[in-house]
Amino acid sequence: MNQLDALKQFTTVVADTGDFRQLTQFKPQDATTNPSLILKAVQKPDYAPLLQETMQRFGNRPLDETMDRLLVRFGKEILSIIPGRVSTEVDARLSFDADASYSRAERIIELYQAEGIAVDRVLIKVAATWEGIEAAARLERRGIHTNLTLLFSFCQAIACGQAKVRLISPFVGRIYDWYKKSTGSQWDEAAQAGANDPGVRSVRQIYNHYKHFGIATEVMGASFRNVGQVLALAGCDLLTISPELLAQLSASAEPVERALDAAQARDLQIEPVNYDEAGFRYALNEDAMATEKLAEGIRAFAADAIKLEQLMKAA
């Protein structure tokens, strides 16, 4: 048994890609996309026809609608290969507008339904700002399930749990990146690896809190930089992994042990935590890493959405 198959015994494996032709090799349950991954995919010869076809059919519609149609087209192709769910992201430029995020999510779901895709096979990805979490709470009450992304802090996770969102995606690798950069020459890679990795520790804290208090929101570790981070979270509800790291896991026969355990989490001594809007904003402000990485992530996804729009106009 290779490490990927062993990992699947403890954790639902999700592919983090817009390159759906790679999916059959790794047999993930679910798949996640984002504007950066779709932008990367449409620039490959295999996927350029999807962009051209979408523009030929819908190029006379408003650009934001046409982009959603392109995202749904990729999602539909992915869902023809995997048995589970695909995550499709709301435009990051709406991250601080709850009403606009809600409306855009509704349209994405309507486009999926028009393609014969059931609502329970789609997760709407929204940035874990206060406004994004508010939009997600409204969507969940309507039966539209959500994946809260760009999540870097405990307070974001707590607010998502309070909102009863379906799933959160804490970004392991980007947390690791920040601490490694801020530590500079004093960084000790070996000492900060595996269970000691700052991104891994963040997810473990969230996972233990959710399981201890019976919070139903699923935890999906994301944004991995190496296989060690993935294996240190074996047992997490889900892990979304790039094709490159999936290939590394498939090529190794080293043993995999459960690292996170819901039963053990229920026995821990953990204090309950809740946030109102003011408390959330203050807690996020106090976390320099989360504040910086959230802002950086929104800017990056927004920039890639603009690049994708430019490609669409040129198609």
**Residue that the structure tokens 């779901």 belong to:** 109
Confidence check: pLDDT of 68 > 90: yes
Residue count of the chain, please give it.
Answer: 315
The CA-atom distances, in angstroms, between 230 and each of 87, 123, 127, 253 are: 20, 22, 22, 15
**What's the pLDDT score for residue 237?**
98
Cα–Cα dist 283/281, whole Å: 6
Return the DSSP state at 91. P
Catalytic site residue from 27, 40, 76, 125: 125
Comparing 43-47, 115-119, 132-136, 279-283, the range with the smallest average pLDDT is 43-47
Interval 107-154: pLDDT, tens: 999 999 999 999 999 999 999 999 999 999 999 999 999 999 999 999
Record the tokens describing residue 266, joined without a space. 């229920």
Of 2, 1, 11, nearest in space to 232 by CA: 11
Average pLDDT of the chain to the nearest whole number:
97
Record the tokens describing residue 295, joined without a space. 């802002």
Record the tokens describing residue 65, joined without a space. 């609608």
Instruction: Please report how many Cα atoms fall inside a 13 Å half-sphere around the Cα of residue 288, on the Cβ side.
Output: 3
**What's the pLDDT score for residue 35?**
84
Residue 315: pLDDT band (50, 70, 90) is confident
Interval 25-36: pLDDT, tens: 999 999 999 889
**What's the pLDDT score for residue 102?**
98
Three-state SS at 16? strand
Interval 4-24: pLDDT, tens: 999 999 999 999 999 999 899
For the 3-13+28-314 domain, the top CATH level (class) is alpha beta
Q: What is the pTM of this model?
A: 0.97
Confidence check: pLDDT of 276 > 90: yes
Known catalytic residue: 180? Answer: no
Q: Are 26 and 13 in contact (CB under 8 A)?
A: yes
Confidence check: pLDDT of 188 > 90: yes
Interval 248-275: pLDDT, tens: 999 999 999 999 999 999 999 999 999 9
Residue 206: pLDDT band (50, 70, 90) is very high
